[in-house]
Amino acid sequence: MDATTAPLHWSKTRPPPTLLARIFDNKAVLIIACLLPAVGLLSVFLTYPLGLGIYLAFTDTTIGRRGAFVGFENFEYLLTDPIFWNAVFFSVFYTSIATIGKFGLGLWLALLLNQHMPFKSIIRAIILLPWIVPTVLSAIAFWWMFDPQFSIISYVFVDVLGWRETNINFLGSEWPARFSLIGANIWRGIPFVAISLLAGLQTISPSLYEAALLDGASPWQRFRFITFPMLLPILAIVMTFSIIFTFTDFQLVYAITRGGPVNSTHLLATLAFQRGIPGGELGEGAAIAVSMIPFLVFATLFSYYALARRKWQQGEGND
């Protein structure tokens, strides 16, 4: 075949585009077609449950009975409910203290793990263990550790060291129970923070530290002016996630205290479940769950704007 004639021949015989091809040549149609699966998935798995939850919060639906629209009645009741306010307080307290604990210890651990040390990989893998173990399993372990009669901590203090005469009643009164749960949450959350921050630490160029050393910077100054600012973007993201995970925690509290003693350790998530499912008040449970949204939005915006949106990240120097 003559090489010069072949393209002409092919060009002339090309069939006209089909209707389908012409439709998909349209940019708007193509965009819609590509977005549709994602929009569909989001609608089914995110918008619908969220919308249903918000709808239920404005009804008096109970388990086994369709409810009627009651406006803000559920929210008005919650405003007068001391147990709800107790859950609000503890959710904020739990999240604040646990987050501070997790980030303090997590950052310290990340800095340690970032040093050159023997068996570094094995140690890093071990550090991840609390994060890998299913939450309910670790909750049951803590439940045993906090048991009023059989706690290993009490055993060590009372029978081994002789520092106390009686067992510690970890879960039997308000504040010890709250701090016991916070301790369990910190233990469980540290690996996530530590490994995430370690990843951030490893992106910092060693040349910055070398330059600082030449300038005679102390370890604290190197941390203050290099490590911390460079770590801030990832810190903001990890903190945002950590706050959300901690504020919406359910398994640890439900498995260890079920919200007791006398409702003092209910988080909004556990109270929503308690009222909605065992208590049968689906509308009230949904209202409690919906009331978590403003807190989560605030926490997210705070950590995002306060920590992530700094001018230096856009090359305009640190504010």
In whole angstroms, how close is the CB of 268 to other proteins at the nearest point? 16
Residue 301 phi/psi, 5-degree rounding, is -65, -40
Q: Which residues pair with 59 in a beta bridge?
A: 69
The region of 34-42, 57-65, 237-245, 294-302 touching other proteins under the rule CB under 8 A is: 57-65
In whole angstroms, how close is the CB of 32 to other proteins at the nearest point? 33
Query: Which amino acid does the sequence have at 319?
Result: D
Residue 59 phi/psi, 5-degree rounding, is -125, 170
The region of 31-39, 90-98, 114-122, 254-262 touching other proteins under the rule CB under 8 A is: 254-262
Nearest Cα residue to 61 out of 269, 290, 293, 277: 277
Distance, CA of 12 to CA of 115 (rounded, Å): 69
State which residue, 71 or 118, has the beta carbon closest to other proteins. Answer: 71
∠ at Cα 239 (127, 114), nearest 5°? 40
State which residue, 84 or 192, has the beta carbon closest to other proteins. Answer: 84
State which residue, 144 or 228, has the beta carbon closest to other proteins. Answer: 144
Residue 60 interacts with other proteins (CB under 8 A): yes or no:
yes
State which residue, 80 or 207, has the beta carbon closest to other proteins. Answer: 80
Write the CA distances from 53 to 46, 50, 58, 124, 187, integer angstroms.
11, 5, 9, 40, 32
Q: Which of 95, 263, 291, 303 binds other proteins (CB under 8 A)?
A: 263
Query: 22-59 as b/e, with b when 16 or more CB fall inside 10 Å?
Result: eeeeeeeeeeeeeeeeeeeeeeeeeeeeeeebeebbbb
Residue 51 interacts with other proteins (CB under 8 A): yes or no:
no
Q: Which of 40, 51, 148, 219 binds other proteins (CB under 8 A)?
A: 148
In whole angstroms, how close is the CB of 230 to other proteins at the nearest point? 45
Q: Which of 92, 114, 131, 147 binds other proteins (CB under 8 A)?
A: 147
The region of 58-66, 119-127, 245-253, 307-315 touching other proteins under the rule CB under 8 A is: 58-66
In whole angstroms, how close is the CB of 237 to other proteins at the nearest point? 35
Distance, CA of 214 to CA of 210 (rounded, Å): 6
Residue 188 interacts with other proteins (CB under 8 A): yes or no:
no
In whole angstroms, how close is the CB of 271 to other proteins at the nearest point? 10
Q: Which residues pair with 65 in a beta bridge?
A: 62
Distance, CA of 316 to CA of 309 (rounded, Å): 11
Q: Which residues pair with 8 in a beta bridge?
A: none
Residues in 127-146 at the binding interface with other proteins, rule: CB under 8 A:
146
Q: Which of 101, 189, 259, 283 binds other proteins (CB under 8 A)?
A: 259
Residues in 3-42 at the binding interface with other proteins, rule: CB under 8 A:
none
Nearest Cα residue to 188 out of 246, 250, 128, 130: 130
> Can you read off the two tokens belonging to residue 85?
């306010």
Q: Which of 30, 35, 63, 125 binds other proteins (CB under 8 A)?
A: 63
Residues in 151-180 at the binding interface with other proteins, rule: CB under 8 A:
166-167, 169-174, 177
Residue 57 near residue 286 (C-beta atoms within 8 A):
yes
Residues interacting with other proteins, by CB under 8 A? 60, 62-65, 77, 82-83, 146-150, 166-167, 169-174, 177, 257-263, 274-275, 277-281, 284
